[in-house]
Structure 1
Amino acid sequence: MPDVRWARGAMFRGLPRGFWWLWSSTLVNRLGTFVYPFLTLYLTLDRGFSATEAGLVVSCFGLGSVAGSLAGGELSDRLGRRATMAGSYVVTAAVTAALAVTTQVAAIAALTFLFGAGSSAPRPALSAMISDLVRPEDRQRAFSLNYWAVNVGFGLSSVMAGFLVRADFVWIFIGDAVTTLACGLIAWQRLPETRPPTQDAGSAPTAGPAAARGLTLALRDGRLLALTAVAFALWLLFHQGVTTLPVAMEGEGLSARTYGLVISLNGLVVVLLQIPLTRWLRGRRSGPLLTGAALMFGAGFGVTAFAGNAALVYGLGVVIWTVGEMVFAPTSAAAVADMSPLHLRGRYQGVFGFGTAAASFVAPIVGGVVLDRAGAAVLWAGCAAVGLLASCAFVLLRFDGSARRVWGKDDAERSGAAGLTDTVSS
């Protein structure tokens, strides 16, 4: 018991004030994450779309996320972290409100694209800000705490959204828009600007060919691309939980409220276990952690193949893949932060976020088509196979999560000048 109390206290000590404002803005934003988890149900139940049609429309969210992730990384390095986050939240709030009153299919698809772009653009800036604010040895802890806030909010929002849907689907759009706008205001008023100086004071932000070279450097980092590719495969599975899972459960006669309760286990497990799990992960090598996380992803969705109309089995599957998500998300995010040069943190996070965003684009299409044409059992078996292959990829790549190359002299000087020197392990 004393060790548990120490672990809880240590999790919250020693992090800067700016991080806690960032954490608070994340919590507020996720408390209003009503639309995306229920977007497929909205399209199929309220608008009468088939699973394939709904998947195509929801894939526009993923396509927007791809664009938003790369744009957000670029903007966070050029314009600043705070401005990128605040502006993206305001735009997203306006788009969400517009979705509530839009009826034409083409307009819904276009707004869904913008919704995805606006939702993803703040993420590279947020991750870069954590990297700026927090010492290298504390980054995994900081990313775990931020991930904890994401899931505290998501768990509560899923339950609330389930009840809001019973009244009218329009309320999930209104609630999401209001909380997203509040998050934008917090970001603008309270978050510090942490973008490190990379040029002489008073000069204009880097643009044109010079900016493009920054993105090219990130795209030439083989270790970053390897991690991004495997992350893409794992997030393909994760997005089935909010795209095809509700449709499959509805097909078994389970209600939207039941799905809301089942998916809320995702956030509940994180709330209860993230802090002790992070304590257990401390000092462990990333390679085995990432391999085990991939296996948990596959096993969790594989269990769903045996669920039928048993809500408890669906819940068990969510718990299993959530544990994998809890290990993978902060471990991979900290690895990207550690391998990023100081002046390219936003772009590195943007490229890594590309994998998640691309998965959110591909997953609804693939999942919807497989569910319609082959059935739920084949879909969940395929998910299990992807998780197994991803775990094998981590073994073959021998990825340990640490940067192996030594940054150039300019990067070291910039890091030292900013007081934010990165630790690079060999």
Structure 2
Amino acid sequence: MTVKSFLGPYKNLPSSIFVIFFARVVNSAGHFVMPLMAIFLSDKLGFSTQKTGFFMMLASLGYVPGSFIGGKLADHVGRKKTFILFQALAAFSFIPCAFLGNSQIIPWLLVLSTVFGGAASPANGAMVADLTKSENRKEAYSLLYLGHNLGFAVGPMIAGMLYKNFFSWIFIGDALTTFISITLVALLIPETRPDHEKIKENAHSLDINEKAESGSLLSAMAKRPMLIMFLFCIMLYSFVYVQSHFTLPLQMNQNFGVHGPKYYGFLMTTNALTVVIFTTLVTKITLKLKPIFCVGLGGLFYAAGFGMLFGIDRLHLFIFSTFIWTIGEILISTNGMAYVANNTPVTHRGRFNAIVPIIAEAGHSLGPLLTGKYLMDHSISSLWLLTLYGAFVVALLLFALHFVENSKLRKSEQEKLEQNLS
């Protein structure tokens, strides 16, 4: 068996994508802090459900100013410089937390880290778009998503084991692995931001929706109404998905008591292992399907996986539920960013990669806050019915957008055919 055949759908990707892949593996293996944030705030600091939701909302909102700054700098200064600077600042934010015990300062440092992380994210996304083309983006985002979860397969489990007796190492380990991943990018990836001459030189090879734009972010977005509607659907999906980091750990604590954090770590490991084992297979099966259709299909798996949490109380059923909604996560994550990249002008990749997380984080931000208030008067299990209905409706909206896109494409092809015949 050759190396290329072993790599399967990833065999023709550029080497720089594999460097980013390994960097994400390392970084995700040390992703200790954020998965346990809800448990930390409620358990170690004694916050109420509503106050925990408030700080998780602030952590998500931290992406907004960070993303705007990082996206602008990525387009005008460079992807690599912007990524290294803000990713390093995010790591530095964790280090004091290791020595502050149960200080009330820690939640604010965690919020600050998300601001810096939000600034690094657009540069990283623009870098990937620069290194790929529409023909291989599904495979590239699939590989990078796989790399994130290869590391994440062990990260939460290690964090869960460290939580009780070696809590400070959760912060130190997260920072150290982040610095290692930054070093890989710094040494092995060149600056990818194209200058004006290179943009003109490669203009003929870009799809129409990737052509250079001279206007602002808003003017470029206004020319892409389908993308705006797509991002609205992603925002609604994120409201559903964030429950896996807020409501699900609370439910595990409620059902399993002192074993809740450990069992929640098992679920997150199940999530990551499912991605590791099934991402390549899902990518192969759906390779010929349009990204927007695959994202709609992912919503059906969200509806089934999260919806079944309404009536279960056994660990093996929680694990099965995690497997189902993770298949939806694979479909949405690997195809969602490919769709966005295919509809982003080369001159605005940093800013577009800034606005996408902001829109998505609107669901992540509002989710914990609204959920926290909802849970004050309702049971945790009843919330899962809302996620079932919500994910199903969003899936239908995306299928409708897919139908509209296909109709426009057929009409355009028909017009071209008629022009050629005349």
Bin for the TM-score computed over the shorter chain: 0.7 to 0.9
* Cα offset, 1:401, TM superposition: 7.6
Aligned counterpart for 1:219 among listed residues 218, 221, 225: 221
Counterpart of 2:65? 67
Do the aligned partners of 1:262 and 1:311 also contact (CA within 8 Å) in 2? no
Residue aligning to 2:248: 245
Rounded Cα–Cα distance in structure 2 between residues aligned with 1:30 and 1:65: 18
State how far apart, in whole Å, the 1-side matches of 2:38 and 2:349 are. 34
Please say if residues 292 and 339 of structure 2, whose CA atoms lie closer than 8 Å, have aligned partners that are also in contact: no
Alignment of 1:10-409 (within 5 A): 10-102=8-100, 103-105=102-104, 107-198=105-196, 213-220=215-222, 221-254=224-257, 255=259, 256-308=261-313, 310-398=314-402
Helix, strand or coil at the partner of 1:15: coil
1:199 Cα deviation from its structure 2 partner: 7.0
Write the distance in 2 (CA, Å) between the matches of 1:242 and 1:53: 15
For 1:423, the equivalent position in structure 2 comes to none
Q: Partner letter of residue 231 of structure 1?
A: I
How big is the shift at 1:93?
A: 0.8
Q: Distance in 2 between matches of 1:401 and 1:167?
A: 54
Contact 2:156–2:265 (CA under 8 A) maintained in structure 1: yes
The offset of 1:69, in angstroms, is: 2.6
Given that residues 89 and 183 in structure 1 are in contact (C-alpha distance below 8 angstroms), is that contact kept between their aligned partners in structure 2? Answer: no
Asked if the contact 1:7/1:276 (under 8 Å) is kept, the reply is: no
The equivalent of 1:207 in structure 2 is none
Counterpart-to-counterpart distance in 2, 1:81 and 1:229: 26
Tell me by how many angstroms 1:355 deviates.
Answer: 2.2
Given that 2:28 and 2:152 are in contact with CA atoms closer than 8 Å, whether structure 1 keeps it comes out as: yes
Q: Check conservation: 2:4, 2:11, Cα contact below 8 A.
A: no
Q: C-alpha distance in 2, partners of 1:399/1:328?
A: 18
Q: 1:51 to 1:399 in 2, by over 3 A?
A: farther
TM-score normalized by the length of structure 1: 0.86
- Contact between 2:271 and 2:323, CA under 8 Å: does it hold in 1? yes
Q: CA deviation at 1:66?
A: 2.3
Deviations 1:131-151 (A, max 9, x none): 111232111100000000011
Percent identity, aligned pairs only, is: 27
Moved more, 279-288 or 89-98: 279-288
Q: Write out per-residue CA displacement over residues 274-333 of structure 1, whole angstroms, 9 at most, x where no aligned residue.
A: 11111111111234322211111121111111122x111111111111000101111111
Q: Distance in 1 between matches of 2:170 and 2:405?
A: 38
Letter in 2 for 1:350: A
Cα distance, 1:8 vs. partner? 4.3
1:47 Cα offset (Å): 0.7
Distance, in Å, in 2 between the alignment partners of 1:229 and 1:348 is 14
The CA deviation string for residues 25-81 of structure 1, in whole angstroms up to 9 with x for no partner, is 111111111111101111111111111111111111101022223332222111111
1-structure distance, mates of 2:328, 2:12: 27
Deviation at 1:368, TM superposition (A): 2.1
What secondary structure is seen at the aligned counterpart in 1 of 2:195? coil
Query: Is 2:226–2:401's contact at 8 Å kept on the other side of the alignment?
Result: no
Query: In structure 2, do the counterparts of structure 1 residues 400 and 67 end up closer, same or farther at CA, with 3 Å as the change threshold?
Result: farther
Paired residues of 2:293 and 2:402 also in contact (CA < 8 A): no
Q: What is the CA–CA distance in structure 2 between the aligned matches of 1:120 and 1:318, rounded to whole Å?
A: 27
Q: Which amino acid aligns with 1:194?
A: T
Supply the AA of the counterpart residue of 1:147: Y
Contact 1:294 1:390 (C-alpha < 8 Å) held by counterparts: yes
In 2: Cα distance, 1:10 partner to 1:199 partner: 35
- Provide structure 1 residue ranges, at least 5 long, that are not aligned to the other structure: 202-210, 406-426
**2-structure distance, mates of 1:346, 1:75:** 8
Question: Deviation at 1:14?
Answer: 2.0
Moved more, 360-369 or 379-388: 360-369
In the TM superposition, what is the alpha-carbon distance from 1:113 to its structure 2 partner? 2.2
- Amino acid in the other structure paired with 1:270: V
Distance between the aligned counterparts of 1:301 and 1:69, measured in 2? 29
1: distance between equivalents of 2:273 and 2:214?
Answer: 42
Name whichever of 39-48 and 341-350 sits farther off.
341-350
CA distance in 1, matches of 2:405, 2:176: 38
- Over 3 Å counting, the alpha-carbon distance change for 1:99 and 1:368 in structure 2 is farther
Judge which range, 266-275 or 15-24, deviates more: 15-24
Kindly state the Cα deviation for residue 212 of structure 1 after the two structures are TM-superposed: 11
Distance (whole Å) between structure 2 residues aligned to residue 174 and residue 401 of structure 1: 48
* 5+ residue gaps, structure 2: 200-212, 410-422
What is aligned with 1:417?
A: none
